[in-house]
Amino acid sequence: MSAKVAVLVFPGTNSEAETVRICRDVGLNAESVHWSKAASLLRYDAYVLPGGFAYEDRIRAGAISAHEPMMDYVIEAAGKGKLVLGICNGAQILLEAGLVPGTGALRKPTAAFTHNAPTGKFICKHVHIKLAADPSRCAITAELASDTLIPAWAAHGEGRLAASAEHLEEITSGGHIAFVYAHSDGTVDDAAVPNGSALRCAGLTNKAGNVLAIMPHPERDAWNFNHPDRAEGKDTLAPSGGATFFRAFAKALQ
């Protein structure tokens, strides 16, 4: 029996449908869970917090959702070792909840994804993210090859990792950087970073490696019809590209 995965829907979430679809297409038993059904989260094996603009990103992106009753269940489950994945707005929520990088108290964030630099404007751009840690550092990436390159879409106004110098050092020394921005050939430099993110960070994991927050959307480049110029096979509906990331997620739950 495939793992049951809850895709959380907060007021303002807008990427739950494609997130559920790619999870199902890689073999997971995924379904969306409305914020009014928080108690039902106990039944699930893993959790995905998808993209959107939960609570209109008031105060800071993810700040209100981090205190939602749904997050009580996610925080408890993460503490017991269940896998938690946050994408874009979901990643912002995980940082605001203190689950990632997890170097401080819960709901007392030590880092945040904040306004893009240098313009502060919303970005919608095709990007690549490169696995920067040893694959085994995070359970969700354990089945990926070293230096795996994942195509994705950056679509955010607040995607720049920011923290104090002290906490950035904690992130680095603790091996919390899971993904960095890269060019399509795999090279990594500041020019590949679309938002000024500190440490070229595109994704962070917690100390235990069971919670992962990534800013770009691999689910928006996850089927052949998303990228006909680099389709894998003739089936336009077949998972490919960013689906590599979700296949690793599925294997981690087997």
DSSP run (H or E) holding 20:
helix 16-25
Average pLDDT, the chain: 97
What is the reported pLDDT for 36?
96
Per-residue pLDDT reduced to its tens digit, 185-208: 999 999 999 999 999 999 999 999
Nearest to 40 by CA among 28, 29, 49, 32: 32
Q: Which residues are catalytic?
A: 88, 217, 219
Name the CA radius of gyration of the chain, rounded: 16
CA distance 23 to 31: 9
How far CA 238 is from CA of 22, 70, 90, 123, 231, in Å, comes to 10, 32, 25, 27, 9
Band the pLDDT of 133: cuts 50, 70, 90: very high
Please check whether residue 239 is in contact with residue 246, taking contact to mean a CB–CB distance below 8 angstroms: yes
pLDDT digit string, tens, across residues 37-91: 999 999 999 999 999 999 999 999 999 999 999 999 999 999 999 999 999 999 9
pLDDT at 125 exceeding the cut of 90? yes
pTM > 0.95: yes or no: yes
What's residue 246's pLDDT? 98
- Domain boundaries, given as residue ranges, for the chain: 4-252
Structure-block tokens of residue 91: 């990643």
Backbone angles phi, psi at 4, to 5 degrees: -90, 125
The third-level CATH classification (topology) of the domain covering 4-252 is: Rossmann fold (3.40.50)
Segment 198-243, tens digit of pLDDT: 999 999 999 999 999 999 999 999 999 999 999 999 999 999 999 9
